[in-house]
A = this chain, B = another copy of it.
Amino acid sequence: MSYGQQTQRVMQAVRSKISSRALEPGEKLPSIRGFASTMNVSPSTVVEAYDRLAAEGIIFARKGSGFYVSPKTQPFTIAEIGPLLDREIDPFWVSRQSLDTGVDMLKPGCGWMPADWMPNASLRKAIRNLSKADDHLLSDYASTRGAANLRRLQARQFAAEGIEVDPNQILLTGSATQSIDLVCRLLLRPGDKVLVSDPCYFNFQAILKAHQAEIVSIPCTRTGVNFDEFEQAIIEHKPRFYISNSSLHNPTGVTLSPQSAHKILTIASRHDLILVEDDVFAEFLPETTPRLTALGGFDRVIRLGSFSKTLSASVRCGYIAARPDWVEALIDLQVATSFGGPSPIATELIHSCLSDGSYRKHMEALRRRLAKTRREVSANLAELGIQTWLMPEGGFYLWCSLPEGIDSADLARAALQENMVLAPGDVFSPTQSMGQFMRFNVSQMGNPITYEILADVMCNL
């Protein structure tokens, strides 16, 4: 066999190892000397083969360290996007656990109410009416902004808050999460910084990672944020925007006072910062309090939300309200990435439920039920030494501190063995400093066994 044939043989052997995945992308190739001996050729033949494969881009040389399989055909995974936390307590922990476990699982950690707390009678009625809708509604794409009737209804609801908005300033989307995603597409480029509170909704972290943004955080206080820290972070990091829940902050339950909202707007204005107001929980408040958009209009505030928490998470629909020129750009982005607005079927069902007189009564009853349940659960947890950090004015979350010495991630891992999904503090914490906290969903804690399991598991930690 000629020298050239020997080189080809070595090259082919490497290619086979790669295609059979005996050698994984990024993995180091055998040493020159070792592989020469294996293949029964001279080291210089292996050097020649490796060099040629490197020229082809199949492998690459790392100075002083040898040759490695190129990552070329490998996709980037979200793990490469940023420093991924321990998978067990990363931001996906709660979402994937709670989305994929069966209905028989106990889910004090999940982010929605039990199915039988939702206005299903109203939804069923809407579905029956839908079966008689015209062919266009059932089979055509949505218009680029989404159904006009729902946008008009929302504009009236904004008006009740004192916010003047043209229905064309509202863009319907597939969900609040997709709303955030579109806003990120509009505002972010890889490496940009975004300001959040610590703790914050865990999916803010996931979505910002997906956009390769750098997360900057300031501590969440019982009134929102410390204004000096807020301003200092803006000056120091020049974030592209600040995203938070002004009402019933997830996970802490903090609602901004009008004074706090005004102060945040003033500081943002001074430093020309965009504010993204994720409003998904606002409807759980007994009374509407003026929030960022209500005080500042749409000059620098983007309001977004959905109907998943109060109406149905199965009917996917969210919205963005923003400056007209930004809405135009967001429409292009949504057409490019989803082809049109959300399902006309979905928006019709939501419009139908929201226009139904029973919906307001359902929400009133639900607020009373949740207020009672928050008090009861808080008391039950207190008996286990789990203290409510702040009693929220609405919603279904309690942010609680655990007894001294109990780590919430340890507790969540142990609880999972007992078929219970919990939401440990650190999944909400960009700085990983919330190990003593746990978020509880009071609507998911009706089964008394929940407390027995919690007590048992804490005892055995």
Contacts and interface: CB of A to CB of B under 8 A. Distances in A.
Interface of A: 19, 57-58, 72-73, 75-79, 91-92, 95-96, 99-100, 103, 112, 115-116, 118, 120, 123-124, 127-128, 130-132, 134-144, 174-178, 181, 185-187, 189-190, 203, 206-207, 209-210, 238, 272-274, 299-300, 308, 312-316, 326, 329, 331-333, 335-340, 342-346, 349
Instruction: Specify the main secondary structure of chain A where it touches its partner.
Output: helix
Contacts of A137: 314
A19 B128 CA distance: 50
Contacts of A190: 189-190
Contact of A138 (B120, B134, B274, B342): B120
4 nearest A-B pairs in the assembled complex, by CB-CB distance: A115-B135, A206-B336, A118-B139, A127-B131
A123 B137 CA distance: 11
A178 B314 contact: no
Contacts of A75: 186-187, 274, 326, 329
Nearest to A328: B77
Nearest to A127: B131
Contacts of A342: 316
A238 B57 contact: yes
Number of this chain's copies in the assembly equals: 2
A178 to B, nearest CB: 6
Nearest to A269: B19
Contacts of A72: 272
Contacts of A185: 210
A92 B272 contact: no
A138 B314 contact: yes
A341 to B, nearest CB: 8
27 contacts: A75-B187, A75-B329, A77-B329, A77-B332, A78-B333, A96-B332, A99-B141, A115-B136, A115-B139, A115-B140, A118-B138, A120-B139, A124-B132, A127-B131, A127-B138, A128-B131, A131-B131, A141-B308, A174-B316, A175-B338, A175-B339, A206-B336, A209-B336, A314-B344, A315-B345, A316-B338, A345-B349
A185 to B, nearest CB: 7
Given A142-B99, A142-B314, A206-B336, A135 B112 contact: no
Given A96-B335, A115-B140, A141-B308, 5 more contacts: A79-B329, A92-B336, A138-B314, A315-B343, A316-B338
B177 A139 contact: no
